[in-house]
Structure 1
Amino acid sequence: MDVESVVRTAVESGVFTKPSADQKVFKDQCAYCFKDPHTKDGLYINLKNYHAFCREHAEIYANNTGNNLYVQFESTKVFVEEKGDGERADGEPTNKMTKLTIDADPKFEFEDKYCVVIHPNYSQQFFNVQGVQEIADAIQTIANSTSAERLALLSSTSNAWDADIKLITKHSNLVQHDNDKRLALSGWHCEVENCGLDENLWINLTDGAIRCGRSQYVADGQKTNGNGHMQDYYAATGYPLVVKLGTISSNLESIDVYSYDEDDAVIDPNLEKHLKHFGLDPSKLEKTAKSTLEMELDMNEKWEWARCTEDGAVLEPVYGPGYTGLINTGSSCYMNSVLQALIQVDSFRTRYSEKALDILLNCPIETIHNDFNAQFAKVIRAMLSGDYSSETDLEHNNIKPLQFKRVAAGNHAEFSTAKQQDVEEYIRFLFEKISQNSKDEVIDPTGSLRFQTWNRFEDIATQKVRYTEQEELILRLPIPEALLKPIPDTENRFTVDMSAAIQAAFDVQFVEVSIFVPKNIFFWFQGYKSPITGEQKGATNTITMKTFPDYLLFQVSKFTYNNLGVQKKLDVEVEVSDELDLVAYRGHGKLEGEELLPVETPSEPAAPEIPANVRAVAGELMVMGFEENSCLRAAFFSNGNAEVATNWLMEHMDEPNINDVFVMPTGTPSARGEVDPNLVASIIDMGFTPYQARYALKQVPTVSEAVDWLFTNMETIPVETAATGSSSDAPQPSITEAANRKSYKDGSEKYKLIGMISHMGSRPDSGHYVAHMLKDGKWVLFNDEKVALSQDPPKKLAYIYLYKRVE
């Protein structure tokens, strides 16, 4: 039988679909694994649905579906030999490439080859199919189309970078003194008598005073010159905004601007004007000194980076199953590190690797590229297969879990972007997504890590108690200031003992509030008010473990908030315990002789009046033509800062409810969200999740009321949805109902350290993450696509620790 007859017979058997005008063609990667057109045999694109498979999975798919007609697509790298004068050795001009030219020697191009194959005779390839016009047209469509994978990427990816985010200063309209002070463009010195330093100099933008900065460590044991005279000047005058003189240049973004009362490096939108007021024209100056941030990076982040990535050490690459590198797809190191940790957990290997093929085959091919379980199984199976971690095929090592990242993130406001994220938040988000995609008959692998705690709440006035059960995923280790021990010959770097931090997590917490709100300049002092006696003597909360999971995650609370709600990282080294015995922290329920507090439902608080500063800023925005309600929202969420309010309004103009009637919420807002993160942090310290803390603070205004509200209303809190990171409007089961449907592992209280995720950078949503895992008795570094045996695992510097139970 000739070629035309064979192909025609296959077409007429019903396994061919003519491609539509908007046909999606998957041709970048196998639907079931990560092989691509450049690997051996290339890909087989099924002509029934235009999904691609490697040779192994093409056979499996055809056997299961009967769809046996494929176009084999191979793309081969061909090196181009030049003979000079811009001409190739074959006479073609060197700029005539079929797909891609690399602008470095040696140059190469990709040559694509298409042929028809019919399962199970893969060795019989039909190249000349022009006699079957519909097949020829289909091949042309495949060749000319932009892959469906790339189209999805283009429609979902947003660009971002990992740099630290500076706030716009509230002093952008700073009142400057008309003192006729004009400065030269060089030759500055500290104006304090008997100082005279000519380095590390700052100008105060209020009156033009020049003072030296503080001495600062630039290396272990080495400090810059500085007597801190500008800080003294601020303390004496209250003039807040200063600029480091040696950083002034035409590149305004690189100029070091610091606000003392905002306690941070800031952006001054009117910086050029403020500098010219004293005769300093940025266009006439060149940068001669490092900014404070640059020096901090040199001192803190670089040593941390070197330690965590083991930079400078000659590390031995390691290959094989479980040693697969993950390519960074744009600030995705947080996700890569989490995946490397999860494949150490037995239940994840069972669910998503051993049963991966069942998951993939049971998923309709039309939805497989957007199915969470299918994409998760595809990634985990590939990581554990060893197919992409071979010493003999370095070109096809590593995988790029781009589709998984997109599907897992869904429409989440943060995880769907290319921005860096907090790895602890991602773990919580991902685990919730996994649980949502685990049917009743399927084992939820997160059950190996979830655990329950007892929360014991005691009213000090009556000594009556209330016990509640709480589900948790990560045990947060607080770092009280009393536990910090300074590291010699360093600045603002400390060490803390892990055992002491664990003890602090289970210590008695007093429920009382003493909070300073700088934007509105007032204090809240309030202790817990007894519902029985009315006395305001406060309350205590104590956490103990109800269950001990197979694997236990710890998070070191390295991040704290400044007075503007901006996260800053503590430079803390943890004296880690490789083995833990947590038997002392096993808890219990109500004890004999204890009296329970009555269950009360607090009344709905009345909405407070809109403050004058919020109304004033809203008025400024309304002059620009915006609606009143949107302006009130912007002013409220920016704490009355006109500059931040303008930015907030621009970012939220497309929201459908932006002009709904504005009702002043309870609680204290911040420039980064509706609820003050300082209040949230206080409630988290008492054992509640960030979501629960934020939800409670939207009901009542203070920490003490929020904690009491949580204890009496826990069952009414909607389930946090992984897709949005917030509660759903649709009816959801209560937390208690959801918990009752789950079973929790419980066994020995003894654990062994098997993994760590480390963070380098000043905030959890910037910088870089790497993972170190204990495999086969050796520590292994997973730095995105780089996988190597570790010489000195940075146990003291990790952000997340993974422990496994030992019997």
Structure 2
Amino acid sequence: MDVETAVRSAVDAGAFIRPTFDQKIFKDQCAYCFKDPHGKDGLYISLKNYHAFCREHAEIYGTTSGNTLFVQFESTKKIIEERTDGEPTSKMTKLTIDSDPKFEFEDKYCVVVHPEYSQQVKNVQNLPEIAEAIAQIANTTSAERLSLLSSTSNAWDAEIKLITKHQNLEQQDNGKHLALTGWTCEVEGCGLNDNLWLNLTDGAVRCGRSQFLSDGKKTNGNGHMQDYFDSTRFPLVVKLGTISSNLELIDVYSYDEDDAVIDPNLEKHLKHFGLDPTKMEKTAKSTMEMELDMNEKWEWSKCTEDGLLLEPIFGPGYTGLVNTGSSCYMNSVLQALVTVDSFQTRYGEQGLETLVNCPLDKLHNDFNAQFSKVVRAMLSGDYSSEMDPTNNHIKPLQFKRVAAGNHRDFSTSKQQDVEEYIRFLFEKIAENSRTEVIDPTDSFKFKAINRFEDRGTRRVRYTDQEEMLIRLPISGDLLRPIPDTENRYSVDMKAAIHAYFDVQKIDDYISPITGEPKGATNTISMKTFPDYLFFQVSKFAYNVDGTQKKLDMELEIEEELDLSGYRGHGKLEHEIALPDEEPTAPRTTPDIPASVRFVAGELMLMGFCENACYRAAYYSNGNVEIASNWLMEHMDDSDINDLFVIPSGTPSARGEVDPNLVASIVEMGFSNHQAKYALKQVPTVAEAVEWLFANMDSIPVESAAVGLSSDAPEPSVTESATQKTFKDGGEKYKLIGMISHMGSRPDSGHYVAHMLKEGKWVLFNDEKVALSQDPPKKLAYVYLYKRIA
């Protein structure tokens, strides 16, 4: 049978469906891998459903589906031949400019019938319906691109400044006007003429503090502006040498907010003292520029191994991932997970089966299919070849979109926290593995035991909880100053691990037995030891205003860990259990928690009225310092002294919970999500911890609890830790991977991964993959260990 007859026979057999005017046509990438029309043989577009396949996967799809009719689409880059009339040389081309010389892509279409791919019908004039379909394929924007255009938002990795609360700053009318240049510090005897700052309240000019530069030297500075703020409390200052017409580059700092800020009224505030930014030129580096210099010379260069001549490495498992818009956090996590045995099995070895069995109309939005597509590509070596340097990476756009869903953070193109993404992704994997034999996240999950003791009666309560990561607390007593550095510290990893498992005190806990506020303790141990363990270093601390700052620290790591001292076994024979159902102690003020009454009492000792104190204590989650600040900010409220009654509804109506309270609970071994959820049910740390012990199984899964649309189904409930089997083995582990963060906050900056492969450390910096010469073992944010015994 000749090929045209074979095509006609396939059409008659139902292998061809005429495309509708709004037909989705996939033609940029193979449905099962990342090959595109520019590679060998191009892509084969099914004329039944208009999905595209590479040659290898077209054969598999044609055999399994019975859909045998394809349009072969090849797109080849060619140098444009110069023409005097300015017209392109071919009507069926897409013009692109890479560099000089200019190039164009020449597109070719022909028809083939599975399995005889070498026999092609190039002239389809005798097949008018197929000719019309090919014309529509050529002229239609691809479905992949339409999906990208509808979901992509612009973002970048840079630091995000906060708008200052002093944007309406009251400035003194003292008649002070400054010259546009030639300033000096106004403190008698100082005389510095660089590193100068202008106080926007009264126009005082003072020098800043001395800072380390990237070359190890220090800037001039005697800290006179800090002294000035301490004496006047005038908060907002501007670095004089940074003033120019580009207001975004001017260095503005708020002392009481303890951060670089944006002042929306900066031009007005400067002109108050005679400084017109449009007439001034930038002469000094901003604080951020100096910090970036430090990053380039220290953390950034250390983590990315910048400046070192790194040798690229190729082959299976060494595939780079293109940054698709602040997606380095996702790329780093994927590079870590693809080294894990269970992930290789679930999405690598079993991945093709998952793809083939997924209906094509669901394939591009199916989580398991898209994860399989990415992992198979990363492990294949097809996109990591020394012979083809232009094709040594993949772009996991579809996976990012499908994995994120409508999550309010991960569905954007903004930078995110790696630790939060790991937890989110693991929940997503578990949700999509309920009917599968393998849940690859089981390799990480372990059962933790919480031992809660009432200090008033010495009675105890043991509860199990599922964990997937150990969050190492970095308290002040663990920080050891590094000699000859400024505000830089080292931390012993063993000490940080011990702090995680150490006794945590809950001072305001009220005994359900005696009713006395003698406090309680909580201690974590491990009941099971998984195949792999993630450790996250808590480098980020919360400021009073809820913003985060990063500790400048090194972790003195242990490449091999023995955690046998932290194995727990549950209740001992001589221990007496706390009752599961606690009696409700009588309260002098009905319906008001004892912790709120306590804080209100502390405020009343300061001279405030009773109802105002109860209101402040309640709306501040029972924290004295926060309640005091809340009270000062609301003294002018008309109802501040009205009779206080507990509002109806749950405490979540009070808005976002205090991040400092969240951090306190997280340090006891709970996740951010669990801590926040509990604090929306009860107001204080003690009550939240108690609530968690009693209600752990009722907390919604994080991926379902956030970012839901209004018509989304009710969130599913986490599986009880007692209802599943956990992997358990020896307690010894070896370091096999690290994810490092560069920047001042986890939701900005840049992430890279270093993985130990075949005995060598390899740097994965988005699409760049190379042998590591100096892995930054002391600077990582997340460490990956594998059980060795």
TM-score (norm 1): 0.88
Aligned: 1:679 with 2:661: yes
Higher mean C-alpha deviation, range 698-707 or range 569-578: 698-707
1:419 aligned residue? 414
- Which residue of structure 2 lines up, in the alignment, with residue 691 of structure 1? 673
- 1:577 and 2:572 are equivalent in the alignment: no
Q: How does 1:760-775 map to 2 (within 5 A)?
A: 760-775=742-757
- Residue 667 of structure 1: how far off its partner (Å): 7.8
What is the CA-CA distance between 1:703 and the residue it aligns to?
A: 1.2
**Whole-Å separation in 1 of the counterparts to 2:70 and 2:556:** 58
Kindly provide the CA deviation profile for residues 139-182 of structure 1, in whole angstroms up to 9, marking residues without a partner as x: 00100010000000001111112221211111111111111111
Give runs of aligned pairs for residues 372-387 of structure 1, distance below 5 A.
Answer: 372-387=367-382
Identity of aligned residues (%): 73
Within the candidate set 482, 492, 510, 1:529 is matched to 510
Alignment of 1:704-719 (within 5 A): 704-719=686-701
User: Which residue identity does 1:383 align to in structure 2?
Assistant: M
Q: Give yes or no for contact 1:97–1:109 (8 Å, CA) kept in 2.
A: no
Return 253-262 or 67-76, whichever deviates more: 253-262
Q: State the distance in 1 between where 2:265 and 2:361 align.
A: 54
Q: Does 1:135 align with 2:130?
A: yes
Q: 2:224 aligns with which of 221, 226, 229?
A: 229
In the alignment, which residue of structure 2 is the partner of 1:496?
491
Unaligned runs of 5+ in 2: 585-589, 598-607, 609-626, 634-646
Match of 1:335 among 330, 333, 336: 330
- Say whether the 8 Å CA contact 1:605–1:700 is kept in structure 2: no
3-state SS in 1 of match to 2:14: helix
* Pairwise CA distance, 1:108: 1.2
Deviation (angstroms), 1:81: 4.7
* Structure 1 residue 800 corresponds to structure 2 residue 752: no
How far did residue 666 of structure 1 move?
A: 3.8
Q: Which residue of 1 aligns with 2:52?
A: 52
Which residue does the alignment assign to 1:310? 305
**Are the counterparts in 1 of residues 465 and 696 from structure 2 also a CA contact under 8 Å?**
no
Distance 1:280 1:328 in 2: 42
Q: Tell me the distance in 2 between the aligned counterparts of 1:329 and 1:203.
A: 41
> Does the Cα contact within 8 Å between 2:185 and 2:207 map onto a contact in 1?
yes
Query: Which amino acid letter does the alignment assign opposite residue 436 of structure 1?
Result: E
**Partner of residue 108, structure 1:** 103
- Which residue of 1 is the match for residue 703 of structure 2? 721
CA–CA distance in structure 2, aligned partners of residues 366 and 453 of structure 1: 42
Residue 588 of structure 1 and its aligned partner are, at CA, apart by 1.7
CA contact (8 A) 2:407 2:703 kept: no
Residue type matched to 1:676 in 2?
A: D
**Cα distance in 2 for residues equivalent to 1:163 and 1:343:** 28
- Residue 556 of structure 1 aligns with which residue? 537
Aligned-pair CA distance for 1:40: 0.2
Partner of 2:186: 191
Deviations 1:566-594 (A, max 9, x none): 11111111111110000011112111111
Q: Deviations over 1:105-135 (max 9, x none)?
A: 2321100000000011111110111121110
Structure 1 stretch 375-384 or stretch 490-499: which is displaced more? 490-499
Measure the CA separation in 1 of the matches of 2:178 and 2:301. 41
RMSD: 2.6
Whether 2:543 is the aligned partner of 1:543: answer no
Given that 1:200 and 1:212 are in contact with CA atoms closer than 8 Å, whether structure 2 keeps it comes out as yes
Report the more deviating stretch, 436-445 or 419-428: 436-445
The letter for the 1-side match of 2:110 is C
Match of 2:770 among 788, 796, 800: 788
The residue identity in structure 2 corresponding to 1:538 is G
In 1: Cα distance, 2:652 partner to 2:24 partner = 49
- Map residues 474-489 of structure 1 onto 2, 5 A cutoff: 474-489=469-484
Deviations 1:787-806 (A, max 9, x none): 11111111011111000000
Paired position in structure 2 for 1:26 = 26
Equivalent position of 1:630 in the other structure? none
CA separation in 2, counterparts of 1:741 and 1:178? 70
Identify the match of residue 214 of structure 1 among 194, 209, 212.
Answer: 209
State the 1:462 CA deviation: 1.2
Q: Aligned residue for 2:574? A: 593
Partner SS state of residue 366, structure 1: helix
Deviates more, 1:342-351 or 1:435-444: 435-444
SS of equivalent residue, structure 2 residue 198: strand
Letter in 2 for 1:720: E
Does the aligned pair in 1 maintain the 2:3–2:119 contact within 8 Å?
no
Does the aligned pair in 2 maintain the 1:75–1:111 contact within 8 Å? yes
Pairing partner for 1:262 from 237, 251, 257 = 257
Q: Distance in 2 between matches of 1:725 and 1:342?
A: 25
Cα distance, 1:97–1:715 mapped onto 2, change above 3 Å? closer
CA distance in 2, matches of 1:232, 1:488: 26
Q: Which amino acid aligns with 1:437?
A: N
Structure 1 counterpart of 2:343, one-letter code? F
Change (3 A) 1:733 1:99: closer
1:517 corresponding residue in structure 2: none
- TM-score (structure 2 length as normaliser): 0.90
Helix, strand or coil: the match of 1:370?
A: coil
Q: 1:566 aligned to 541, 544, 547, which one?
A: 547
Q: 1:451–1:471: 8 Å Cα contact kept in structure 2?
A: yes
Q: Distance in 2 between matches of 1:371 and 1:599?
A: 43
Offset of 1:95 from its aligned partner?
A: 11
Report the Cα offset of residue 726 of structure 1: 7.5
- Give distance in 1, aligned partners of 2:522 and 2:705: 32
* 1:734-753 mapped onto 2 (5 Å cutoff): 734-735=717-718, 737-753=719-735
Whichever residue aligns with residue 743 of structure 2, its letter is: G
Residue 403 of structure 1 deviates from its aligned partner by 0.7
How far does residue 639 in structure 1 lie from its aligned partner after superposition? 7.9
Map residues 257-296 of structure 1 onto 2, 5 A cutoff. Answer: 257-296=252-291
The aligned residue for residue 439 of structure 1 is 434
Residue type of the alignment partner of 1:784: D
**Residue identity opposite 2:75 in structure 1:** S
How far apart, in 1, do the equivalents of 2:480 and 2:519 lie?
Answer: 31
Aligned length: 740
Per the alignment, residue 650 of structure 1 pairs with none
- Aligned partner of 1:649 in structure 2 is none
Extract unaligned runs of 5+ from structure 1.
Answer: 513-526, 613-635, 643-661
Determine the C-alpha separation between the residues in 2 that align with 1:335 and 1:778. 23
1:713-772 residue CA offsets vs partner (Å, 9 max, x unmatched): 32332333358368998566654x432342211110000000011111111111111111
Deviates more, 1:534-543 or 1:38-47: 534-543
Q: Distance in 1 between matches of 2:284 and 2:91?
A: 48
Letter matched to residue 704 of structure 1: A
Match of 1:349 among 329, 332, 344: 344
Say which of 377, 386, 404 aligns to 2:399: 404
TM-superposed deviation, 1:480: 1.2
Aligned amino acid, residue 349 of structure 1: Q
Change (3 A) 1:7 1:221: closer
Asked whether the equivalents of residues 246 and 290 of structure 1 are also in contact (C-alpha less than 8 Å), the reply is yes
Return the letter of the residue paired with 1:542.
Answer: T
Checking the alignment, whether the CA contact within 8 Å between 1:720 and 1:726 is kept in structure 2 is no
Query: SS at the partner of 1:223?
Result: coil
1:388 has 2:383 as partner: yes
1:617 aligned residue: none
1:758 maps to 2:740: yes
d(CA) in 2 for partners of 1:663 and 1:144? 59
Residues 7 and 132, structure 1, Cα contact 8 Å, conserved in 2: no
- Quote the Cα distance in structure 1 between the aligned partners of 2:7 and 2:630: 70
Return the alpha-carbon distance in structure 2 between the equivalents of residues 427 and 727 of structure 1: 22
1:457 maps to 2:452: yes
Comparing 219-228 with 751-760, which one deviates more in the overlay?
A: 219-228
Amino acid at match of 1:694: K
| Per-residue CA distance 1:546-565 (angstroms, 9 max, x = gap) | 11000011000011111111
Residue 780 (structure 1) shift: 0.6
